Amino acid sequence: MTERGEPTPPRQDPNGTGPTGWGDVAPGGYGTTPGQPGGYDQGQPGGYPQGQPGGYPQGQPPNQPGQYGAPPPGPAGPAPSGSYGQYGPVDPSANMTPLGPAPQPGIIPLRPLTLGEIYDGAFRSIRANPTVMFVLAAIVVAVLGVIQAIATWGTFEQLNETLGNFDPTVSDTEALDDITATLQSQLLATGVSGLLSFVVSTVLTGVLIHSVSQSVIGRKMSLADVWQAVKPQIGRLLLLTLMILVLVALVSFVFVGIIVLAAASGSLSVIAVAGILGVLGLIAALAFVVTVTVLATPVLVLERSGVFAALKRSWRLTLPTFWRVFGIYLLTTILIGILAQVITYPLQLIGQAIGGFGTLTTILTLVGGVIASALTTPFLAAVVALLYIDIRIRTEALDVDLAAAAQAP
């Protein structure tokens, strides 16, 4: 954007092939153009046409008498008191053309976004491509829910039966062995289903982010096209998500270790102080890690970067606007959590009222979780993608590339 609020003119490729950022890469590429920061034409500072300083037409200096069809001034004479015919200070905005709204080829206007526009764009992205954004997410989440239910159902039933027949007053080595074996099976089933959920959810997030990036420029991609665009990056996407989880685990381990060491001292005052400070420090550290890495996934998917490059790029994008990114992401996760509870809690109450804490309650809880995840997963992915685009519009004039890509055939 220029200083007067007008859209910045598109950057030209050094080879003369057209606007950079979208036209010279595969659809959806958000790569940067080296050597031309800020999105302005080289040699044309301020966004004005070359050879026409100040925005005035060439050959017409400002405030020249007789311009715009006005008659030449007559001889000066005494003006009556209070008249409006005197020449006064010139209003610099008098001859400015009113600015129109920012172009909007897709789900958002191509300018810096407000919080409301980010949320509105997230909903619009789901409506713009419901097959990818909602139907695919619902199917994937439902399949994962069924797999997790099958993996854990049998072990839960076996554990309940064993515990129901267990008599604590009698030493029953066989019963204890059964409980231990059941718990081991439960842990194994939970681990396998959790690993599967991690892999599928990571791939789904990449697909959703790519779909949002195309909806921004008014394109609706089929599921096959989105899959072909994301498929080469699945390995790096999984590795990136795993590295973020490892960072979170390391931070948690450090602060938990501090609390454990304080507890070993035996002093209640030391334990209390270390516990409070440790918990607060852990929350702050986790919030920092999550915030500075939240844009790594859209960077990897849309810029086709490597894992470490995506983490470094996310750090550089989020750090200057840390509190804004943190606030938007925190608010979004809170709203998603509330929505999930609104969906699942009534179903749990219905199941408990009809069948206690048995099979019906478990089924209704599973159904509620699937519905909540099918609604919240696309929304969160869309918010993250739009937050990435918003930051790049603010700092790198990405709106220029977006506008050029939207006009490309």
- Write out pLDDT tens, residues 41-78: 333 434 333 444 443 344 444 444 444 444 444 444 44
CA distance 125 to 207: 13
> Residue 207: is it exposed, middle or buried by C-beta count within 10 angstroms (0-12/13-18/19+)?
buried
CA distance 10 to 401: 7
- Write out pLDDT tens, residues 341-395: 999 888 888 877 776 666 677 778 888 888 898 899 999 999 999 999 999 999 9
Alpha-carbon dihedral sign for residues 314, 5, 408, 24: negative
Residue 19's SS3 state is strand
- Write out pLDDT tens, residues 188-230: 767 777 777 778 888 899 999 999 999 999 999 898 999 999 9
pTM: 0.71
Q: Of 383, 374, 405, 386, which is closest to residue 132 (Cα–Cα)? A: 374
CA distance 307 to 300: 7
- Write out pLDDT tens, residues 91-132: 434 344 345 688 899 999 999 999 999 999 999 999 999 999
Neighbour count for residue 77 (Cβ, 10 Å): 7
Q: Of 268, 275, 319, 271, which is closest to residue 295 (Cα–Cα)? A: 319
